Amino acid sequence: MAVGVFDSGLGGLTVLDALTRRLPDVPFVYFADSKHAPYGVRDADDIYNLTCAAVERLWAEGCDLVILACNTASAAALRRMQESWVPKDKRVLGVFVPLIEALTERRWGDNSPPREVAVKHVALFATPATVRSRAFQRELAFRAIGVDVEAQACGGLVDAIEEGDMILAEALVRSHVDALKRKMPEPEAAILGCTHYPLMQDAFQEALGPGVTVYSQANLVAESLADYLKRHPGMLGKGTEGGFLTTGNPVKVSQNATQFLRRKITFSAA
């Protein structure tokens, strides 16, 4: 009954934490492609090929359902994977869906025409690859009209978080928010479009100001998965053991992950 959770690095651990709290009886296998991280600076074909390889590894662990807890992979690879690569007995889900559900206040299965929503000015903070893909804007346009989205590529932020340099990370957050505000002075909502960014949510909120609603993904994804598994219990895979796998150096990744989540995390070589 295992479920796979994939990210290029450690950011997806924020999602995993929320998933394990919401679904304590489900074993999760977390795969970090640390050898090739970060994905945010790679081109679309490279991201697609690396993501497919990681998902296949999680299928081998008995995870018929895999969550791409990586916005870059969700933006650059997921649609192509679902349309031409994923077998009928497997599922690969991304992390944009719960965000758009929350922002538009409608269920993903609601296929009615796009309609106006309360929030009109949205700031999107994401990796360069996610910004280039325009995947968030495309999916949002299917469900809402009249929403102005201004995207800010947050170069360097993932690397600073992965290395545990929070002083640099906070400085980068302030710099990227300042750059965004020069383009959109008064956003009403902000999307943290990378699973690393929830660790910096307080910094984003402080830089944006109290009048901006900041949407973070972890809890939204957890609720969405719980609802999905209730509707599709057959997608729980045959795997019975959870764990942590990495393509990087397991000792170094374990140390960084332990610092990242402030609890003991032990990775094995993938």
Q: What is the 3-state secondary structure (H, E, C) of 173-217?
A: HHHHHHHHHHHCCCCCEEEECCCCHHHHHHHHHHHHCCCCEEECC
Is 246 flagged in the annotation as binding? Answer: no
**In one letter, which amino acid is 204?**
F
Q: 196: annotated binding-site residue?
A: yes
Q: Which residues are catalytic, by number?
A: 70, 194
For residue 40, the 8-state DSSP code is G
Q: Is 71 annotated as belonging to a binding site? A: yes
- Is residue 176 annotated as involved in ligand binding? no
User: Within a 10 A sphere around the Cβ of 205, how many other Cβ atoms?
Assistant: 18
Q: What is the DSSP letter of 91?
A: E
Q: Is 109 annotated as a binding residue?
A: no
* The two three-digit tokens of residue 154, written as one number: 């947050």
72 is in an annotated binding site: yes
Token output for 190: 């902000």
| Binding-site residues for substrate | 7-8, 39-40, 71-72, 195-196
| Binding-site residues | 7-8, 39-40, 71-72, 195-196
